[in-house]
Chains A and B, each alone.
Chain A
Amino acid sequence: MLHIVKKDVPKNREKIVVRLSAVLAALAVASIIVLVAGANPIELYIGIFQGCFGSVYRFSATIEKMVPLLVLSLGVMVAFKMRFWNIGAEGQFQMGAVGTTLVVRLLPDLPLPIMLVLMIVASFAFGAVWLMIPAFFKARFGTNETLFTLMLNYIALTLVTALQYDFWKDPAANGMPKIANLPENALLPSVSGFNLSILMAVVIILAMYYFTNRSKIGFEIAVLGESENTARYIGINVTKTIIIAALVSGGLCGIVGMMQTTGVSGALSTEITGGLGFTAIIVAWLSGLKVPFVVVNSFAFAVLLQGASYIQTAFQIPGSVAEMIQAIILFFILGSEFVLQYRFVSDKTKSEVA
């Protein structure tokens, strides 16, 4: 019989080696699928690279995919640091977009700078409230936040559906269920495909780095996540800390709603999140809840996303093949975590020791 035993903490060098080999192995396995789909794997992989970095336009598309994922990942990271399993980033994203659209609908004629500030505030508030609801119930009554945040995703989605099909339906869209595009004075300014959200993301990265590593509240969140007993023992106000962490986590996810509506899609819709709220969970986790790694990993994921959409058109392969490649790479990387943390021991050696 084989037993699975937890390993000692792996060294950094080992981590890098294992993960790199996981990616290479994944590419090798994915090649089989690519061959079946009738393309040359090597050319295809070069194609992915070209699709991401081949031109300024393509690079901007990569960055455009990276920004929302990055900010969402930082958002869930804060909650995860506290062992508060916020899997409701999708919903907070949606609600942030709702908040943004609401500002435009109420005050359509504001000048751009004021409009942007108001939209940021509103989206942050909407996302934050959406997470503070489960946080409050968790702090007060000990409810399970995993289920609670997950279910709030569907409530948010249903709300947006109702807005899109009824309350905010654009009368000028010839009966199409669609919310009207934002006016010019509510769109993020952009330079050759790079819009202002990149700057916002840089500010957020720096702020979150300070928050998690250098601030009192960030320290308290980490302590609380590791051991509630210790937190109580050194006199941390548990309820207050949970609420603040939820505010930051939900707020960041909310801001993504604003970035996407005003910078990419131009209008609120049910498809606006594209499942990024769930991908962010993987990114945050793979990054070990550390800000620099979140940045690196969200870039890597953006490359995968952008590369996949590029090769579909460039190589005329079905979208599902691109998705399969993505999935295989992800599967191997997640699997390598197991190799890093556990090893197999056979029964025989164990009984000899005993």
Chain B
Amino acid sequence: MNNDYVVKMENITKVFGKVKALDHVEFSLKKGEVHAILGENGAGKSSLMNVLNGIYMPDEGQIEVKGQLVNINSPKIALDLGIGMLPQHYKLVDVFSAMENVAAGSRKTTPFLNKKKILDEMGKLITQLGMDINPNKKVYEMSVAEKQSLEIFKVLYRGADILILDEPTAVLTPQEIKNLFEIVKKMVATGCSVIIITHKLEEVMEISDRITIMRKGTTIQTVNKEETTPQELAGMMVGDVMELNIPYVPVERGGKCLEVKDITAVDRNKVHILDHVSFDLYAGEILGVAGIAGSGQKELCEGIAGLYHLKSGEIIFEGENIVGKNPEKISQMGISLSFVPEDRLGMGLVSSMDIIDNVLLKDYRNKKGMGISREVSRDKAEALVERLNVSTPAIENHAVSLLSGGNIQKVLLGREIELEPKLLVTAYATRGLDVGSSQIIYELLNEQKVRMKPIMYVGEDLDVLMSLCDRILVLCEGRVTGIVDPRKTTKEAIGLMMSGVRSEGEEACSIS
């Protein structure tokens, strides 16, 4: 019986600093199955797979591969055991052909390239799997889907029979997804086992045999596909509504401040990253934006701030269409964007500068003449540090990159609020913050709401969104799948919308 499992992970725990990324996780993979791992962002899906692939070393727990207890401490060892992971960002040499990419770094490759032998071997595998790969095509001429097939092929060519696919469908069109699934099915038929990380329920139901649901670093359950429904999965994914100590402040909402009409944008791969998004934003409300990472939140924020090119649609602010205006104009009109990207310092703050200079970023234009003055900014920085309790040894000559994540965020958001914007767009404001710091941020936002400011809050944690926001707009693959009142809906319903199931009676509750 034990031999049926090719991978068994028991009691896996991984701690980063104070955060438990994985907390006694159990996971097993049967030979010849497609096993989906389902969960929200930060549930620990990728961390778990990185442990299996030898990128992270677990702090606790043991891993059995093909019946043997193993210690995987590098991807190379993982590959020796037959475990191959498809990177989320493709690692291909653009100017090489498919064949050369396959040969590069493979241990089978001889010092002098035996092209014929490689081509023969490739041909065999290609026909076996029915892949659409032309060995002589250069990578820079390939579409995203072709690059992905090539990456899968590379891993298989190197002898992997346990394949980990990390969000493989995020960048693909529906037709390409179909092709990918065909390939996955053929791989399984030849004896491979596949782990697929995803958050799309329909795909899970289509491709997988078993499903493991993860939430906040733990495994909730592993179920057989036949024995479950998308509704049940969504429920397990998001969990029960947690009681949070985030006060919802009822405010009689004011007039319409921002009207977004049918905006559409495409990304570099020509995929619609925003697809006819429309919504209104009112004074004195916090509009939450929920969605799986990469559903278009970033582009929506940047589109409003004039930083992302919108293909079509209108954004009406103070009676004027701001689409096509440059960021400087838009920020002068009083729209403030405080976006906290994954690396936190990529936009909004300059990591090597101190707090004063970062406050100065938004101030220096106000002074007349050619020069800048740090005096005003120094006062503001001091006030900010004191008010938000930023812990920093100094506001001068101490780069913000040396501060902790929470303090960096306080500086960023504090600066934006200090500017008295007419519209506050904030994304992932509490990402990586501890409870106390998050609380301060929520209070700041509520304070602004009471002062009848319109606020757009892009968030990750559904519990927070549901307690803090007046309405929640749900995005999935760039489309609005619902705008709901969190006090009149369930977490499961929002979870379903995040996975692409449109809500019934859309907008119905927003009128009330």
Contacts and interface: CB of A to CB of B under 8 A. Distances in A.
A234 B351 contact: no
B160 to A, nearest CB: 25
B371 A354 contact: no
A40 B504 CA distance: 93
Contacts of A226: 350-353
Contacts of B370: 215-217
A233 B327 contact: yes
Interface centre among A222, A229, A354 (most CB of B within 10 A): A229
Contacts of A223: 350, 353, 361
Given A216-B372, A219-B372, A233 B350 contact: no
A230 B348 contact: yes
Contacts of A354: 57
18 contacts: A210-B371, A215-B371, A216-B370, A217-B370, A219-B360, A219-B372, A223-B350, A227-B345, A227-B346, A227-B347, A227-B351, A230-B350, A230-B361, A233-B307, A233-B337, A233-B347, A235-B329, A354-B57
Interface centre among A215, A222, A235, A354 (most CB of B within 10 A): A235
Given A216-B372, A219-B364, A235 B337 contact: no
A135 to B, nearest CB: 21
Contacts of A229: 346-347
Given A223-B350, A230-B346, A233-B348, 18 more contacts: A9-B399, A9-B402, A214-B371, A215-B370, A215-B371, A216-B367, A216-B370, A217-B370, A219-B357, A219-B364, A223-B361, A227-B346, A227-B347, A232-B307, A233-B305, A234-B361, A235-B327, A351-B73
A222 B402 CA distance: 18
Nearest to B365: A216
A210 B329 CA distance: 28
A195 B313 CA distance: 65
Contact of A234 (B345, B362, B372): B362
Contacts of B128: none
A32 to B, nearest CB: 40
A233 B350 CA distance: 11
Nearest to B369: A216
A214 B371 CA distance: 6
A234 B371 contact: no
Interface string A201-231: 0000000001000111101001100110110
A232 B349 CA distance: 12
Contacts of B68: none
B331 interface: yes
Chain B interface main SS type: loop
Contact of B372 (A214, A230, A232, A235): A214
Interface residues of B, number: 32
Interface of A: 9, 210, 214-217, 219, 222-223, 226-227, 229-230, 232-237, 351, 354
B227 interface: no
B67 to A, nearest CB: 25
Max chain B C-beta neighbours (<10 A), residue from A234, A236, A354: A234
Contact of A230 (B326, B349, B399, B402): B349
Nearest to B326: A235
Contacts of B342: none
A351 B315 CA distance: 54
Contacts of A351: 73
Interface string B442-478: 0000000000000000000000000000000000000
A243 B372 CA distance: 20
A10 B412 CA distance: 26
B328 interface: yes
Given A233-B305, A235-B327, A354-B57, A216 B364 contact: yes
B10 to A, nearest CB: 19
A132 B287 CA distance: 47
Contacts of A222: 350, 353
Interface string B300-335: 000001010000000000000000001111011000
A336 to B, nearest CB: 21
A227 B348 CA distance: 9
Contacts of A214: 371-372
Interface in B361-413: 361-362, 364-365, 367, 370-372, 399, 402
